[in-house]
Structure 1
Amino acid sequence: MKRIPACLWSWYRGGTFRGFQRQAEGPTVQEVLERALREAGVASGGVMPAGRTDRGVHARMQVVSLRLQPGDSAEALAARLPARLPPELGLCVARRPHPSFHSQWSAAGKTYRYRVQLAGKVAPEWLPYVLEVAREPRLAPYDIAPGRLAELLGMAVGQRDFSAFHESSSPRKPRTLESATVKELGGGLFELILRGDAFARYQVRYLVGSALLTAAGGLPEERWRAALESGEAIPGLKAAAAGLVLWEVRYPPELDPFTPAERAAPPGLPEGPPFLGAPEG
């Protein structure tokens, strides 16, 4: 008998993990999740995520594909898995998807949110989840205007070669940044929302860090523009992982395993940082 396809919407706080992908030196999200699945009676070959996240990066919505034994179901798994997960990793929804669904290859796009403290003191509950510019050596001497930051990120919107802003291990090809906005959360805390069709390794962190550096005057605007227009290498800044959240993975409506209501109010998602905010639209 064939195994049953299933997909999970999981969340995690990345501070205790060495990224998503299993590796020799753990713990990783994949390692911990697959161990919990085995304890819950899932004898599969492993999980396939919508994409990897790096060490320290958080996820409000990470989607993984897996296979269940005949006679099992996603609904039954959802009832027995959460008790086997640590406090830093949880489950929102488990579902049997469309037969053609694949967590990674079916994805139509992703949204990331990055939290940065531009002024004032970081609230205690946000300390593990933000970049504080006053503590970043290349940013600390400068004042960064939110409007200027929004202007620079707006220049990055469109289809282009983002190779100046990602690791060479990712293929060099056109990618589309559909939107980039800056939202004030209060108390000097801001949220940068980046929506695109695909992102290369470290792309969000280099875009955010280099935009901050340019807004601070530490990188000339002409270098920023050249990097965007031609892929010219720049002495950019990779923003700290702690501020980054994989916010949402989007799928074509005919393949999306999750309802609009679930996307608007994810069941089982913890309240408080780093997952606050209205759903991406």
Structure 2
Amino acid sequence: MKRTPAALWIWYRGTDFLGFQRQPEGLTVQEALEDAMRKAGVPYPIMPAGRTDRGVHARMQVASVRLPPCYTSEMLAERLPPHAPPGIGLCVARRPPEGFHAQWSAVGKEYRYRVQLGGSVAEAWRPFAMEASLEPRLEGLTLRPERVAELLGATVGRRDFYAFHEHSSLRKPRTLESATLHELGGGLFELRLRGDGFGRYQVRYLVGSTLLTAAGGLSEELFRSALESGTPIPGLKAPAKGLVLWEVRYPSDKDPFPSEERARAPGLPSAPPFCLPDGAETQAA
């Protein structure tokens, strides 16, 4: 009998893991998840939509897996959660459309980055947000939200982001569809970046370098030149703890998760880093 495919929507807090991908030493999300799945009766490896680095969180990581004969996605949804360690959970397990693959079917992703631009970060958010005033290259500099929003908007477009990702990632044009700044309250802001693909550390370098330029620690001329030509600059890589893989997107005929389900994220914890303070937000001008 054939094994049946399943699509998993997984969330995790990256704080206690050495990234997603299995490694020879140290606990990773993949190792912890596959161990939990073995205990739930699925002894097969998973294929994620992509990897996240050490300390990065995911509201929506998607994974493909094959289930044993006579084992259904509904059974996995019931049996997996009791074995999942703290910091990892399952939102949805479902049989996907024909031809679905978590990685190769994906057409885009959205990342969100939380940064405290003014005041003191709330204790609940401290492990999940960058505190700009504590970054050595930003210390003593002024960060105005409207200036951050202006420079962030300049990153949108199809371009070579070579200056803003690790050179181990393939150099090729990538499209950043939108990049916006949102105020979450209490001096906490969220940068939302949506695109068709990202190189390694690209979001963190874009965020950090945007903040550095907005604060006057990097010239705007260099920043914009790097965006247009890919010429390396002494940019800033923002810390991992503020970054969340928010969503993975698929074509409508391949997407296992309908839009209304994506909006309500069943089973997602309401605590940081996934919720908004006081339930309020506004987009910075």
Shorter-chain TM-score category?
A: over 0.9
CA contact (8 A) 1:5 1:99 kept: no
Report Cα offsets for 1:183-232 as digits up to 9, x if no partner. Answer: 00111100000000001100000000000000010000000011000001
Q: Superposition pairs for residues 194-273 of structure 1, below 5 Å? A: 194-273=193-272
The amino acid that maps onto 1:5 is: P
Equivalents in 1 of 2:275, 2:174: separation in Å? 28
Equivalents in 2 of 1:26, 1:47: separation in Å? 19
TM-score calculated relative to the size of structure 2: 0.96
Q: Superposition pairs for residues 80-99 of structure 1, below 5 Å? A: 80-99=79-98
Equivalents in 1 of 2:82, 2:107: separation in Å? 32
CA contact (8 A) 2:208 2:236 kept: yes
Indicate the residue corresponding to 1:27 in structure 2: 27
Unaligned 5+ runs, structure 1: none
* Offset of residue 99 of structure 1: 2.0
Equivalents in 2 of 1:266, 1:228: separation in Å? 34
Indicate the residue corresponding to 1:39 in structure 2: 39
CA contact (8 A) 2:10 2:92 kept: yes
**Paired residue secondary structure (1:254):** coil
**Paired residue secondary structure (1:275):** coil
Indicate the residue corresponding to 1:7 in structure 2: 7
* Offset of residue 86 of structure 1: 1.2
Indicate the residue corresponding to 1:275 in structure 2: 274
Indicate the residue corresponding to 1:171 in structure 2: 170
Report Cα offsets for 1:58-94 as digits up to 9, x if no partner. Answer: 0000000010011000011000000000120000000
For the aligned residue pairs, the C-alpha RMSD in angstroms reads: 0.8
Report Cα offsets for 1:121-177 as digits up to 9, x if no partner. Answer: 010110000000111000111010111111111111000000000011110000000
Task: Count residues with an aligned counterpart.
Answer: 277
CA contact (8 A) 2:169 2:199 kept: yes
Indicate the residue corresponding to 1:140 in structure 2: 139
The amino acid that maps onto 2:195 is: G
CA contact (8 A) 1:148 1:215 kept: yes
Q: Superposition pairs for residues 90-109 of structure 1, below 5 Å? A: 90-109=89-108
Equivalents in 2 of 1:35, 1:196: separation in Å? 32
The amino acid that maps onto 2:251 is: P
CA contact (8 A) 2:34 2:43 kept: no
* Offset of residue 259 of structure 1: 1.5
Indicate the residue corresponding to 1:122 in structure 2: 121
Equivalents in 1 of 2:28, 2:17: separation in Å? 5
**Paired residue secondary structure (2:101):** coil
Equivalents in 2 of 1:154, 1:271: separation in Å? 29
**Paired residue secondary structure (2:176):** strand
* Offset of residue 116 of structure 1: 0.2
Indicate the residue corresponding to 2:179 in structure 1: 180
**Paired residue secondary structure (2:193):** strand
Indicate the residue corresponding to 1:160 in structure 2: 159
Indicate the residue corresponding to 2:62 in structure 1: 63
* Offset of residue 25 of structure 1: 1.7
Equivalents in 2 of 1:153, 1:182: separation in Å? 8
Equivalents in 2 of 1:71, 1:52: separation in Å? 30
Q: What fraction of aligned residue pairs are identical, expressed as a percent?
A: 68
TM-score calculated relative to the size of structure 1: 0.97
Report Cα offsets for 1:82-116 as digits up to 9, x if no partner. Answer: 00001200000000101200001100100000000
